[in-house]
Structure 1
Amino acid sequence: MKKLKISLLALSVMSLAACSSSPRSNQQVVDQISQFGVQYQVTDNQAADHGVNCAKLGADWASCNTATITLTNNGPALTSKNWAIYMSNVHETLRVDNDQFKMTHIVGDLTRLEPTEKFKGIAAGESIEIPIVNEYWQLFITDVMPRWYVTAANATPKIITSTDTENLSDFVKPFGGQWKRIADDKNVLMLPQSRFSKNADVAQLPASALRGQITPTPRSVKVHAADVDLSRGVALHLEVLADNQADAVKQRFDLMGLKPQSAGYDIHTRIAVNHFHGAEAVSGAYELRITPRGTDIIGYDQAGVYYGLMSLLSLVPAEGTPIIATLEAKDAPRFAYRGAFLDVARNFHSKQAVLRMLDQMAAWKMNKFHFHLTDDEAWRIEIPGLPELTDVGSKRCHDLTEQQCLLPQLGSGPLTNNNGTGHFSRADYIEIVKYAQARNIEVIPEIDMPAHARAAVISMEARYQQLMKAGKPQQASEYRLVDPTDTSNTRSVQLYDRTSYLNPCLDSSKRFVDKVMDEVQAMHREAGQPLTTWHFGGDEAKNIRLGSGYSDVKNPKAGTGILDQSKEDKPWAKSQVCQAVVKSGKVEDLEHLPSHFALEVSKMVKAHGIPVMQAWQDGLKDATDAHAFATSRVRVNFWDTLYWGGFDTANDWTLKDYEVVISNPDYVYMDFPYEVNPNERGYYWGTRFSDERKMFGFAPDNLPQNAETSVDRDGKTFDATSNKPWSGAYGISVQLWSETTRTDQQMDYMVFPRLLSVAERGWHRAEWELDYQQGRTFKGGETHFVNQQQRNQDWQRFANLLGQRELGKMDKAGIHYRLPVPGARVENGILTMNIVLPGLPLEYSLDKGKRWQRYQPHAKPAITASDKVWVRSVSPDGKRFSRAEAL
């Protein structure tokens, strides 16, 4: 770590030494450049096919793209060479094709652009182009991060105004044809015409077809002829619920406009364990009887009563008279674990946004909130006794020494007043846990380690430096997370160096984990929800440059990036402490250290009385099986991509007695785009799109089946067979990683309404889902085991429920969910439109968006269009609009 400190200080000294002018002139230069125009244009996503030697440049799998940065000087002539522009570049720049500039990777995605000695200056009004070559591809606009900023020695950094925006199209040029990853990319670009074809098999259903439809779908329901009018209020009899649960129910009834009235419609609840038998005798099971005289809800437990009430509320229309159908329903959850994961480390999301998400989860009977509180980019929870974790680790700013904050990442800019900065106080976290507990949701905190731990590492190094200066060496080392002898040269998946990994061989690392666990457990205890699951994280503890996408210069392999791998180290390879641990025989080799550390942490988990240890599956891959851990149960989030073999490797984990939570990126990651269109938000390494329909059509308990109903990330079919036995998934989880999701509104956009599709799959097994059959082969485009007609009809029903009922309820809750862009076509001069979620209002414009008109599908006369037509959808409350697109 000593060398790390020297290198960071060296960066600062270099920056100072580069400048010989006065502080005032430095600030003038910064002020001037902050007003530069910036444009970014992706020019070739298949650069390797067009003459660029990506392999020689060391690109993973020999894949690289070209782009051009254009800087426009809006002020007087600039001749100074003593400045630098910092930007977030999620794909490392491998080459700059303008010798007046150079780009230097700092850490993570932070990259510095600065003039070289050959810099000729920029005249007043002049634009200068800087062509660059980046690793991988840039297929969606969100690959380009906002808030580039400029610095010079002794000057206050300033954001370049033209990049200070969440509307990335302000400075990123349209992608045009640059949306394909490879020449043979089979994905379909989603434009109004192609979207119209995709939506063609989904029609708007009449209200009568949706009558009595509960969400998520119950196991059995009998709908009767009579209706019930709830407009005179409801008399809620909730004595079997705890006070906090009853309050949560009342809040939901109030949101739906149903006021408590003693003389209102009676809703009675009771718990009767013996009423339920067999597969229905599980937590959350309920029976619902709605009659003209009143409703009876019988729950297996309090959760069952709560869910019965949510089922009744699901029948209430978003607008108009609250009339519901009389019916009888018997219901129980499909999976014990019905989870949603939220990353607040990469970008912070407010407590209010978290509470809104918990409300929607509860209404849709989801019961696990997986809270990703720490990562390389930030530490988000207050830990008494370790204030540096939030004083330093929850903030981002331009401090090259990282003693006051972490360096900017992911478009956060140079100051702390950004979405990269923020944390939950102890009181905040307790409030969130209480809120979840009242809604039958378990909060599962994740403190990610030993990789993805940079925020903790840097914070504890700041603590170390402060205490050493205070003459307290023993206290300084108490929670230190790095071995100062470790000079390993590593590169994490997110481009961090060895500071991304806490050292698993140090006693101080174990003390740190124990301290954090103790404090988090105390918060749960105070919130009234004992901590029953500890999420260890455990993923991606590796050096990506030693992966199969690279090869050594002495033994180059075609199709890989060529590197001098003799300069690359495995994590902790040069740590003398870890070398001693391996030499002692406690650990087989360096690769086994993450799993060994997980085993050690499981002992602490057990000592704290926490029964379940949970992790991302790759963090436990070198453990013998679940029984090797100290806890009585071990759960894994399974996140192998299906078309890369996940349909088969999932079985390995059940065979080793792990509880498997299906968390596959290509089906249930919400940080991926909704559709193949560069203007959508998200990463795409696992799939190019995951929309509501794809997630709804996922078969989580028969993974090979999905090969018949979906495609890989290049839009191609794939085959899937597993010859191994499968004992069944323990649950399903939907994930939002927040790299490209900076604001709360962006969070809502990425989560909703997709989360509802996964809630449906977690609660209800559809008739078109097949039983797992060992050895059966599913071939996309060839086999026809799945009843596609049944599957499509099921989706049409669900899509109509969302479009005609559920999105309006989210309007009431203040959720800024994504409004889908309509499909549209003009044939013989007649405009026709459709939408993936029927029931949403549609609009069109014939004058480039100056005046919008409501689309009526059966309008007389038909809507004629002879020129360009713009289309958009509208929220049920009329307050928000989708992205507008032109035919």
Structure 2
Amino acid sequence: MKYLLPVLLFIVLSTNSVFAQKKVADPTINGLRLKWEVIENNYTNKEKALAELTLITKQGFSLPASGWKLYFNSDEPVVPASPADNVSVTHVNGGLYCLSTEKDFGGVKVNDSLKIALVADSWLINVSDAPRGFYLVWDKTPAQAYAVNEPVLIPSTQTKQLMRTPADKVLASTPELLFEQNKIIRDIPADSLVKIFPTPDSYQATAAKFKLDATISIVADPQFRSEAALFRSELAKLLIQNGAIKNAAKQIKLVNKPMTPEAYELQVTNDAVTIAASSGAGIFYGIQSLKTLLPAQAWHRPQKSIMINGVNVTDKPRFAYRAVMIDVARNFQPKKEILKLLDVMALYKLNTLHFHLTDDEGWRLEIPALPELTAVGAKRAYAVDESKNLQPALGSGPFTSNTSGSGYYTKADFIAILRYANQRHITVIPEIESPGHARAAIVAMNARYQYYIGQNQKEKAAEYLLHDLRDSSIYSSVQDYNDNVIDVSLPSTYKFIETVTTEIEKMYTEANAPLKSIHYGGDEVPAGVWEKSPAYLKLKSTDTTIKNTDNLWSYYYTKVYNITQAHHLYLTAWEEVGSEKVIQNNVRQSVINPALADKNIHLEVWNNVLGWGSEDLAYKLANRGYKVILSPVTNTYFDMAVNKAFDEPGYYWGSYADLDRPFSFIPYDYFKNTVKGRLGETLNPAIVFATKERPTPQGISNIVGLQGALWAETLQSPERMEYMLLPRLTALAERAWAKNPEWATETDTLKSKSIYNEAWSQFVNVLGKQELPRLTYYAGGFNYRIPLAGAIVKDGQVIVNTQLPGLAIRYTTDGSIPTAKSKLYNNGIQAKGTVKIALFDDSGRSGRFSTVYP
């Protein structure tokens, strides 16, 4: 790589979170259209799919026989299915591919089209599987790219398009299937629902009514002044102000009372609201419960007064660690959206933000000592090399102006986020992904190296180098990168870790926010790394503990652990950090690593994929002394698609995960109600999991909490982030806060199912009638997912139900798409032809529509 960017420019760029790049208009490019269609899955009886990309020429545009390349991103490796198409698809790196012509390619004439058959290396089920981020590069102007409109996606409707294999038992979502799933849900009158969410330990409704208006005063014990100040500012937005809030006989009292950390008591009478706790966090959670007593309309527009129903509540959390992981590295989210996320986390008493700031596709945090990290590593765009930015990824296209691909948090942004979180009793744990998933850092430090080499400063150039330039090791990561792993044999690697740790620590200090831990990755390092690294071979010759590259794992994390300890932090990492590769009976296996156990290392455990063999990994690690955060892909990965439908976004490699998946999760025995496999096959837990390890009493004490994870490969806007996160986040909050439900411990299967069905009904009624109406307006309003209606035809009538009672059901009978003015469903639809049905929230926003043909 030739690196010409001066350090001054690094510093200038590092103060901007959104980058601009000049677009050169091509008057012909608007004439190129694309179409994408999945032909079939299980292609040639393998875990592959056949698809068709169609190039369509319009408006006087044509594609010549040669002289051009069409680049695009694909999550799955693709190759041409037929040599007769005379095209080739070259893998560039990661998910970037290049389609070019072969010798006998005939071109595409004006107003013509060409279908190209492509084979994908795995299944293609929904919209998130489609290639994206297309751009054209002419050979005669190789430095310039031209964005091409995204393909028109032809929906998959046939069995061969939606079935992964002949054994796939996960049915495609239909109105009839949804109706059957919703049948167990009882419509519960709103007045009989618990008005506080998540469900408190003890809740008693009373006949009292407290009138909240601008005359109410908030009286707080001295240690609760900051909580009182924040609550006053929130109330000021809800109430019409008739002059300054003045002292009155009616008060909201925040009082100190001995009790466990984060616990609180809340009493609402005719004359006062009293919240008692022993800590600021407890008082804050009492305030959040009081807020959920307020009607949803309170956040729609200011009110003269708000009536609050009387309650007596005592409450405390089940788990001390209640977390959300948000990935902003793959696709960036602006600071404003992170503040909204903190708002909704705080409302539902989630207290930890795991901030995934770096990965292969982006470095999103300004590190003042290393400005190259954001000057190069925070931008994605087409270029002839990566001296100034990373390659396009995940559909970000050829220009840095794409704000999901390019962007970062300045030091000031990050400090503001930390202060905002701290004010809401949320701890932020930053993640610096290493040693794998580190391509953004590696490329940025390579750029730094090239600059200083150009300045004839060899020692300074190598100061933070993250890979050995002479390393010829061959590997491929899960996301198909061949250069994304830090070389842990290099001393410069540890200077980098130390510098980043120190710089992050400074920002927390300036924000006056607690820094308890830094997450240093540990996820998905592929086989083959480091084997031909001169740095590794040198280390091996001098360190007798290093026998092979497998030993480097413990070597690296021992050093990283020591760095965090020196900064008075504990280490957080992914589950792999608690394991090591060993040879047993001539077979290379992964076993629990005892060397790092019992050191307060917190491991986030995601891999319980059914059939992969690690279903009990979380329990094994906890039993052997690691602190475990349960973040199972089957239940709390919010980037998983809700169900199987072409237009339902998200991944599904681990599971499909509707709202019931996080709600039904049993932290200490998730085998108990696991009755369906990854492909929807029926399982008998008593048989399938008979040999799996359960948590011991020590293991249970080491399970510190739950985490929902939202990876960002498919999140190209704040709206999509909110759609994937909500309302599933509410189910996570319920499981993390509320006490262990009766259905989770009941040994009689039929009785447990009956109790669960009632609890599920209560939960979805609370969501549909209280919390989703609130989230329609809270913090500016959230684009939560509105489900599709369930519907069947019975006795000539269309009968409709919903997963979330309380949402309005509207329909049309003329084939048009329902709007907020369409007819309201009451008790059956008498119609012939085409009936379309959609659910609507209080603002008139709808979800997708269901279609029934009576």
Using structure 2 for the length normalisation, give the TM-score.
0.89
Match of 2:639 in 1: 671
CA positional deviation for 1:342: 0.2
- Correspondence 1:225 to 2:225: no
Alignment partners' CA distance in 2, 1:415 and 1:698: 42
Match of 2:386 in 1: 402
Matches within 5 A, 1:592-611: 592-610=551-569
Q: Counterpart of 1:140 in structure 2: which amino acid?
A: N
Offset from partner CA, 1:31-62 (integer Å, 9 cap, x none): 5345211111111111032xxxxxxxxxxxx5
Secondary structure of residue in 2 paired with 1:202: coil
Match of 1:619 in 2: 577
Match of 2:771 in 1: 806
Alignment partners' CA distance in 2, 1:257 and 1:886: 43
Secondary structure of residue in 2 paired with 1:269: strand
Contact 1:626 1:633 in 2 (8 A): no
Does the C-alpha gap of structure 1 residues 370 and 743 become closer, same or farther in structure 2, counting only changes over 3 Å? same
Alignment partners' CA distance in 2, 1:700 and 1:631: 21
Secondary structure of residue in 2 paired with 1:287: strand
Matches within 5 A, 1:349-428: 349-418=333-402, 419-428=404-413
Contact 1:603 1:631 in 2 (8 A): no
Match of 1:215 in 2: 197
CA positional deviation for 1:620: 3.0
Alignment partners' CA distance in 1, 2:571 and 2:761: 39
Does the C-alpha gap of structure 1 residues 725 and 409 become closer, same or farther in structure 2, counting only changes over 3 Å? closer
Matches within 5 A, 1:417-816: 417-418=401-402, 419-497=404-482, 499-543=483-527, 570-583=528-541, 584-610=543-569, 612-622=570-580, 628-629=595-596, 632-644=599-611, 645-687=613-655, 689-708=656-675, 710-717=676-683, 719=685, 720-721=689-690, 722-726=692-696, 727-728=699-700, 729-770=703-744, 784=749, 787-812=752-777, 813=779, 814-816=781-783
Match of 1:869 in 2: 835
Matches within 5 A, 1:823-838: 823-838=790-805
Contact 2:373 2:441 in 1 (8 A): yes
Does the C-alpha gap of structure 1 residues 415 and 172 become closer, same or farther in structure 2, counting only changes over 3 Å? farther
Select which of 289, 313, 323 maps to 2:291: 313
Offset from partner CA, 1:657-694 (integer Å, 9 cap, x none): 1111100011000001112212111111100x212222
Alignment partners' CA distance in 1, 2:602 and 2:240: 40
Offset from partner CA, 1:478-527 (integer Å, 9 cap, x none): 00001112111110000100x21011110000000100010001101111
Alignment partners' CA distance in 1, 2:323 and 2:630: 10
Offset from partner CA, 1:812-833 (integer Å, 9 cap, x none): 1221111111112232332222
Identical-pair percentage: 31
Alignment partners' CA distance in 2, 1:770 and 1:841: 32
My pick for the range that moved more, 94-103 or 134-143, is 94-103
Contact 2:634 2:661 in 1 (8 A): no
Alignment partners' CA distance in 2, 1:602 and 1:496: 27
Match of 2:63 in 1: 78
CA positional deviation for 1:706: 3.1
Alignment partners' CA distance in 1, 2:285 and 2:818: 45
Alignment partners' CA distance in 2, 1:156 and 1:238: 63
Alignment partners' CA distance in 1, 2:120 and 2:801: 39
Does the C-alpha gap of structure 1 residues 851 and 511 become closer, same or farther in structure 2, counting only changes over 3 Å? closer
Select which of 835, 841, 848 maps to 1:883: 848
Match of 1:15 in 2: none
Match of 1:565 in 2: none
Does the C-alpha gap of structure 1 residues 203 and 36 become closer, same or farther in structure 2, counting only changes over 3 Å? same
Secondary structure of residue in 2 paired with 1:111: strand
Contact 2:62 2:110 in 1 (8 A): yes
Matches within 5 A, 1:216-255: 216-230=198-212, 234-241=216-223, 244-254=226-236
Alignment partners' CA distance in 1, 2:255 and 2:39: 65
Select which of 94, 105, 128 maps to 2:91: 105
Secondary structure of residue in 2 paired with 1:798: helix
Offset from partner CA, 1:379-402 (integer Å, 9 cap, x none): 000001211100100000001310
Does the C-alpha gap of structure 1 residues 630 and 694 become closer, same or farther in structure 2, counting only changes over 3 Å? closer
Secondary structure of residue in 2 paired with 1:324: strand
Secondary structure of residue in 2 paired with 1:590: coil
After superposition, the CA RMSD in angstroms is 2.4
Contact 2:156 2:162 in 1 (8 A): no
Using structure 1 for the length normalisation, give the TM-score.
0.86
Offset from partner CA, 1:441-465 (integer Å, 9 cap, x none): 0000000000000000000001100
Match of 2:181 in 1: 198
Alignment partners' CA distance in 2, 1:369 and 1:233: 36
CA positional deviation for 1:308: 0.8
Alignment partners' CA distance in 1, 2:739 and 2:610: 22
Does the C-alpha gap of structure 1 residues 5 and 769 become closer, same or farther in structure 2, counting only changes over 3 Å? farther
Does the C-alpha gap of structure 1 residues 869 and 771 become closer, same or farther in structure 2, counting only changes over 3 Å? closer
Alignment partners' CA distance in 2, 1:786 and 1:339: 31
Select which of 179, 187, 212 maps to 2:170: 187
CA positional deviation for 1:356: 0.4
Does the C-alpha gap of structure 1 residues 446 and 482 become closer, same or farther in structure 2, counting only changes over 3 Å? same
Offset from partner CA, 1:4-39 (integer Å, 9 cap, x none): 889xxxxxxxxxxxxxxxxxxxx99x6534521111
Contact 1:603 1:630 in 2 (8 A): no
Q: Counterpart of 2:554 in structure 1: which amino acid?
A: S
My pick for the range that moved more, 233-242 or 664-673, is 233-242
Offset from partner CA, 1:759-799 (integer Å, 9 cap, x none): 11000134235459xxxxx9xxxx82771111111111111
Matches within 5 A, 1:206-355: 206-210=189-193, 212-230=194-212, 234-241=216-223, 244-254=226-236, 257=239, 262-263=247-248, 265-273=250-258, 276=259, 281=260, 283-319=261-297, 322-355=306-339
Match of 1:42 in 2: 38
Matches within 5 A, 1:118-133: 118-133=104-119
- Structure 2: 5+ residue runs without aligned partners? 4-23, 299-304, 582-590
Contact 1:843 1:874 in 2 (8 A): yes
Alignment partners' CA distance in 1, 2:653 and 2:249: 54
Q: Counterpart of 1:740 in structure 2: which amino acid?
A: T
CA positional deviation for 1:253: 3.6
Contact 2:143 2:384 in 1 (8 A): no
- Correspondence 1:68 to 2:46: no
Contact 1:232 1:265 in 2 (8 A): no
Aligned residues: 796
Alignment partners' CA distance in 2, 1:504 and 1:845: 62
CA positional deviation for 1:582: 3.4
Q: Counterpart of 2:476 in structure 1: which amino acid?
A: R
Contact 2:599 2:626 in 1 (8 A): no
My pick for the range that moved more, 864-873 or 575-584, is 575-584
My pick for the range that moved more, 574-583 or 471-480, is 574-583
Contact 1:841 1:873 in 2 (8 A): yes
CA positional deviation for 1:188: 2.0
CA positional deviation for 1:579: 2.4
Contact 1:626 1:634 in 2 (8 A): no
Offset from partner CA, 1:686-744 (integer Å, 9 cap, x none): 00x21222211111222222324x54343543532334543312100000000011111
Alignment partners' CA distance in 2, 1:630 and 1:798: 38
Contact 2:176 2:792 in 1 (8 A): yes
Q: Counterpart of 2:270 in structure 1: which amino acid?
A: P
CA positional deviation for 1:255: 5.5
CA positional deviation for 1:592: 3.1
Alignment partners' CA distance in 2, 1:639 and 1:493: 16
CA positional deviation for 1:136: 0.8
Does the C-alpha gap of structure 1 residues 329 and 629 become closer, same or farther in structure 2, counting only changes over 3 Å? same
